[in-house]
Structure 1
Amino acid sequence: MALTKPLVFSSLLVATVCLPLTLSTKAHADDYSDLLDILRAKGSLTQREYNTLLSKHIHRTSTPTPQRATSSAPHATRTASTASTHHTLGQGTHSIQSAYEDGIQFDPGAEGDAGTRAQLAADRAEASARSAQQALLSTQNMMNSSSVVRVAKYVPGKGLTFKAGPVDINFSGFINGFYTYNSPAGGRPVAGGVSTGSSGFDSSSVRNGLLPAGFLLKLSTTQSGIDMSAVLGMYPGVNNAKNGAFNANTGGSPVGLGTAGIDLRQVYVTFGTKEVGTFKVGRDLAIFGSDAILNDATLLSVGSTGSNAAPGNTSLGRIGVGYVYADWIPQISYVSPTIHGFQGSVGIFQPLDEFNYAGENLSAGSTQHSSPMVQGKGTYDFKIGGVQTRIWASFLVQHHQGLTSTTIAESQHRSAMAEAGEIGAKITYRGFQGVAYYYRGSGLGTTGLFFDGVAANGRKRSSEGYYVQAMYNLTKKLKVVGSYGVSNLYQAPGETDSILVRRNQSEVGAVYYSLTDWLNLVGEFAHTESAAHNGNHNSDNSGSAGVILLF
């Protein structure tokens, strides 16, 4: 704007100077002098510009203008004395012949100087515009430089993403905490059961839910047309850790001077393209059972408590009471592109041991594996009207070698092939969401992968389970959930009745309120029952209230 005004006024003055003198010289001189005075008073003209323009005006108006001869000859011409008429503006008086302050010297210049100055001003404006454009391009180049770190637009629940040159750095996570009161309803012990009903004592705890805390770091980039990423996920709990078979997930140790456990569940790389698919190498959630747990509403609450008097890193949620835990397993896996809603995945995984979870010499174990575990899954997503639907089916196969028990020696080279399959569906319509899931296995076991899957006599046990869940958003912030689930473990051929778990089941009702984009309030009630093959039975009730923050 500071550059535009002088250019406009200069052009105006040039145009005024060049107008034909059709009016009387006296009137033109007064109007032009008035205009110069006004422009100088407003600061639009410097003193030198004012002097130069006024000098030109004096020179032009003092030159006689030829006129046609008329009968009034004495009045045909205007002399320089006429041009010396005084002009007054405010308190300032200018004589055309001495219109400048004492001591001021100036060069009236040629008549074309005003036009030259206008051209120079235009050139300066153009140069300034070029300079501004170059500065903008320089700034853009600097922002795209690998030495500049930018922040991508934040999306609630998706973490913070920083762009360092060609690398995206995403940091996300969650933290939760619950007060849980568990009241055993009594009963007799069940080996491998998930209910605390036979403990005989009420318990209070401040603990994690099915999720511990989680802090995930992901680095992503594209090189030579290949999309790749590196992921590290740490999952610490709030309760004291206790050494045991399940490491950080073993029941806790509520003793002074304890420390929380850190569960490094994720460390993997991915690479691939949209056309080829994505490969994964490292430790991450397995394929079989993953949709079951990721769609479980108790993932954001507590569900079945497990050990509440000495809580570990997590509760059970619906693990063992509707599905077998997918687990975090070293793997080399592949996920295909999505084609018309279909997508497939398959992988080889670190083989896991058959594990005598129930104790009491009820199950066989194994430690020898000549081949990897294999898992695969297919999913189909589609929408009919306003109903969004996902259907999935998955399988698992692993060969167990070197089975041992109180009746099987390792030298006998007994083996068993564990096999399992699952199917599930999830539908979403407006504020409603429903999930239905079913699994069946041979040698799969219950609760955890290959927990009590093979009997002490070396024969495989069959197992199955399911859960159904309904969720409804009463408002944008408030939703209610109800779910029911069962896990059954059947006896192997040749077994006799024992305290081995036959059935775990639970009913869960919960309310979730989104206080903010990050913070959710949770209230929940859960009833859990366990039954053994010999008729033993127990149950418990628990109430939980807490918060979970996701960022």
Structure 2
Amino acid sequence: MKKLVLASMVAAAAVAAPAQAVTVMAEDGWTLGVSGSINQFAVFTENDAAGGEDIREVRDGLLPAFLNFDLKAPTMNGLDLAAHISFSPGTNSSSYDAFEQREVYFTVDGSFGQVLMGKALGLYGSHNILTEQTLYGVGYGTGGNGETTLGGIALGYDYAAWRSQIRYTTPDMNGFKAAFAVVDSSTPSFRLGANGNLPASSLDTGAGGSDTDDFRYEADLSYAGAFDGGSYSAWLSGAMEDRDDLAEDLQQWTVGGTLKVAGFEFMAQYSDSEDGTSGSAGTTCLAAGGCNGTAFGAVTPASASEKLEWDQYVIQAGYRFAGTTLVSANYSELEDKSSSAVDGADESERITLGVYHDVNSNLKLVAEYTKVENDDSDVLDQDIFAIGGFMFF
């Protein structure tokens, strides 16, 4: 398994530029579009743990940079064919070899809906990360020279992950859409730290994949609509996979929704997950100052065939001034009910306050503060200040 920081390289499929900088059309009707984004932040992390050191970084946030290529064929026999390939280079000093390939897929659209084949953001968890404010910020998970931070992953919502899949999405049915995907099997879940440090089962419920005798299955039901002066959306998603050699099969579900009205923006989401892990999955420490004697990023053995169980939620509210400046706050909580949890359950909390200002369609400025508290260990108690921005092209 790759280092945890690679699992934290979560972005979102919607980070493409507002308008493609270059679009080329061939004589036969094919088009090629090139777009992308780059971000950079000055980040100040105050570690409240005993012996923890404060950290100063110049780095990217939850998202790496993106370079996107989109190809589209002319409509033929009622079918629209398109292909998408993206690359995600990092901007951090340690990211000399961080040129990750996240997405490569093609789509076929018609009156029947859409079929997607290739590697893309998974169905389960995608709404959660795409509607959370730290998507264009930093959140938590700083330090350790990781390629990206974590935003709110594993402390509010599960990791959607970039998954090899075959997916079908229905046509829009008066605002309703349903999607189903057969996905490459996932690696066993793993945890960050031990004795009350943040569970990270949600961080890697599929990244990397592993050979098993069954597929992973994901499904999503969503609804979106608009009214005079506002809009709304809701979703219900789930994932399942057999774990024949582990304590529990993987079962995950999440529900959430958004509301925008008269400049106010609200979002709420909840997720519940169960999984099994084995000693080979190990545990990985996230805290920059170390977790109970374990160095950052180090893997230590997990108990054999451990049962993992956790739930999370996020509540978010903000106001967008003049349509360009979003001032938003969210509160998230994680309850770890795994078999190794202290006193039956460990809880962690995160508060994020942020200002996200669109100077124009190509430039976004961000200022953000995040506080993380853990009931059972002060190792991961942190105050994180970040200021920076995005350039889209």
Tell whether the structures are fold-level matches, with TM greater than 0.5: yes
- Does residue 443 (structure 1) correspond to residue 247 (structure 2)? The answer is no
Q: Alignment partner of 2:127: what SS?
A: helix
Contact 2:113 2:170 in 1 (8 A): yes
- Does residue 354 (structure 1) correspond to residue 191 (structure 2)? The answer is no
Contact 1:178 1:207 in 2 (8 A): yes
Counterpart CA distance in 2 for 1:373 and 1:451 is: 23
Question: By percentage of residues, which structure has more helix?
Answer: 1
Contact 2:45 2:142 in 1 (8 A): no
Q: Which of 18, 26, 39 is equivalent to 1:164?
A: 26
Determine the structure 1 residue equivalent to 2:87.
234
Counterpart CA distance in 1 for 2:347 and 2:116 is: 36
Counterpart CA distance in 2 for 1:224 and 1:326 is: 34
Counterpart CA distance in 2 for 1:458 and 1:210 is: 31
Counterpart CA distance in 1 for 2:239 and 2:127 is: 14
Determine the structure 2 residue equivalent to 1:112.
none
Determine the structure 2 residue equivalent to 1:204.
56
Corresponding letter in the other structure for 1:512: Y
Determine the structure 1 residue equivalent to 2:150.
316
Contact 1:422 1:439 in 2 (8 A): yes
Q: Alignment partner of 2:307: what SS?
A: coil
Counterpart CA distance in 2 for 1:228 and 1:430 is: 38
Relative to structure 1, the CA distance from residue 314 to residue 501 in structure 2 (aligned partners, 3 Å threshold; closer, same or farther) is farther
Corresponding letter in the other structure for 1:204: R
- Does residue 513 (structure 1) correspond to residue 357 (structure 2)? The answer is yes
Relative to structure 1, the CA distance from residue 526 to residue 504 in structure 2 (aligned partners, 3 Å threshold; closer, same or farther) is same
Contact 1:283 1:331 in 2 (8 A): yes
Relative to structure 1, the CA distance from residue 357 to residue 441 in structure 2 (aligned partners, 3 Å threshold; closer, same or farther) is closer
- Higher radius of gyration, 1 or 2: 1
1:89-100 map, 5 Å: none
- Does residue 218 (structure 1) correspond to residue 70 (structure 2)? The answer is yes
Counterpart CA distance in 2 for 1:208 and 1:163 is: 33
- Does residue 482 (structure 1) correspond to residue 329 (structure 2)? The answer is yes
Q: Which of 94, 110, 113 is equivalent to 1:277?
A: 113
Counterpart CA distance in 2 for 1:368 and 1:261 is: 25
Corresponding letter in the other structure for 1:202: D
Cα distance, 1:459 vs. partner? Answer: 5.1
Q: Which of 363, 368, 382 is equivalent to 1:540?
A: 382
Counterpart CA distance in 2 for 1:450 and 1:270 is: 37
Determine the structure 2 residue equivalent to 1:423.
255
Q: Alignment partner of 2:171: what SS?
A: coil
Q: Alignment partner of 2:381: what SS?
A: strand
Counterpart CA distance in 1 for 2:19 and 2:185 is: 33
Cα distance, 1:442 vs. partner? Answer: 1.6
Contact 2:185 2:210 in 1 (8 A): no
Determine the structure 1 residue equivalent to 2:235.
392
Contact 1:501 1:530 in 2 (8 A): no
Q: Alignment partner of 2:160: what SS?
A: coil
Counterpart CA distance in 1 for 2:235 and 2:320 is: 24
Relative to structure 1, the CA distance from residue 167 to residue 419 in structure 2 (aligned partners, 3 Å threshold; closer, same or farther) is same
Counterpart CA distance in 1 for 2:195 and 2:184 is: 26
- Does residue 265 (structure 1) correspond to residue 102 (structure 2)? The answer is yes
Q: Alignment partner of 1:292: what SS?
A: helix
Cα distance, 1:209 vs. partner? Answer: 0.4
Relative to structure 1, the CA distance from residue 459 to residue 541 in structure 2 (aligned partners, 3 Å threshold; closer, same or farther) is closer
Report Cα offsets for 1:78-102 as digits up to 9, x if no partner: xxxxxxxxxxxxxxxxxxxxxxxxx
Q: Alignment partner of 1:186: what SS?
A: coil
Cα distance, 1:176 vs. partner? Answer: 0.3
Corresponding letter in the other structure for 1:402: D
Corresponding letter in the other structure for 2:174: H
Counterpart CA distance in 1 for 2:190 and 2:306 is: 14
Contact 2:231 2:259 in 1 (8 A): yes
1:393-408 map, 5 Å: 393-403=236-246
- Name structure 2 gaps, 5 residues minimum: 1-15, 285-301
Q: Which of 356, 370, 373 is equivalent to 1:529?
A: 373
Cα distance, 1:239 vs. partner? Answer: 1.5
Contact 2:185 2:211 in 1 (8 A): no
Counterpart CA distance in 2 for 1:457 and 1:428 is: 46
Counterpart CA distance in 2 for 1:520 and 1:358 is: 32
Report Cα offsets for 1:340-367 as digits up to 9, x if no partner: 1110000011111214434679999996
Determine the structure 2 residue equivalent to 1:432.
264
Determine the structure 1 residue equivalent to 2:8.
none
1:12-411 map, 5 Å: 157-160=18-21, 161-165=23-27, 166-187=29-50, 200-221=52-73, 222-240=75-93, 253=94, 259-273=96-110, 275-304=111-140, 306-308=141-143, 310-358=144-192, 369-403=212-246
Contact 1:269 1:281 in 2 (8 A): yes
Cα distance, 1:479 vs. partner? Answer: 2.2
**TM-score of the aligned structures, taking structure 1 as reference length:** 0.58
Corresponding letter in the other structure for 1:290: S
Contact 2:17 2:36 in 1 (8 A): no
Counterpart CA distance in 2 for 1:361 and 1:297 is: 29
Corresponding letter in the other structure for 2:62: L
Relative to structure 1, the CA distance from residue 431 to residue 497 in structure 2 (aligned partners, 3 Å threshold; closer, same or farther) is closer
Corresponding letter in the other structure for 2:67: F
Taking only the aligned residue pairs, the percentage that are identical comes to 25
Give the alignment's Cα RMSD to 1 decimal: 3.0
Contact 1:355 1:450 in 2 (8 A): no
Cα distance, 1:427 vs. partner? Answer: 0.7
Q: Alignment partner of 2:303: what SS?
A: coil
Counterpart CA distance in 2 for 1:234 and 1:496 is: 38
Contact 2:193 2:283 in 1 (8 A): no
Cα distance, 1:471 vs. partner? Answer: 2.1
Relative to structure 1, the CA distance from residue 539 to residue 345 in structure 2 (aligned partners, 3 Å threshold; closer, same or farther) is same
Counterpart CA distance in 2 for 1:444 and 1:172 is: 40
Counterpart CA distance in 1 for 2:178 and 2:380 is: 41
Counterpart CA distance in 2 for 1:433 and 1:272 is: 32
Report Cα offsets for 1:147-185 as digits up to 9, x if no partner: xxxxxxxx9713133222311212111100000011111
Contact 1:367 1:402 in 2 (8 A): no
Question: By percentage of residues, which structure has more strand?
Answer: 2
Contact 1:284 1:329 in 2 (8 A): yes
- Does residue 458 (structure 1) correspond to residue 305 (structure 2)? The answer is yes
Contact 2:324 2:357 in 1 (8 A): yes
Bigger relative contact order, structure 1 or 2 (CA pairs below 8 A, ≥6 apart) = 2
Cα distance, 1:514 vs. partner? Answer: 1.9
Corresponding letter in the other structure for 1:183: E
Relative to structure 1, the CA distance from residue 176 to residue 537 in structure 2 (aligned partners, 3 Å threshold; closer, same or farther) is closer
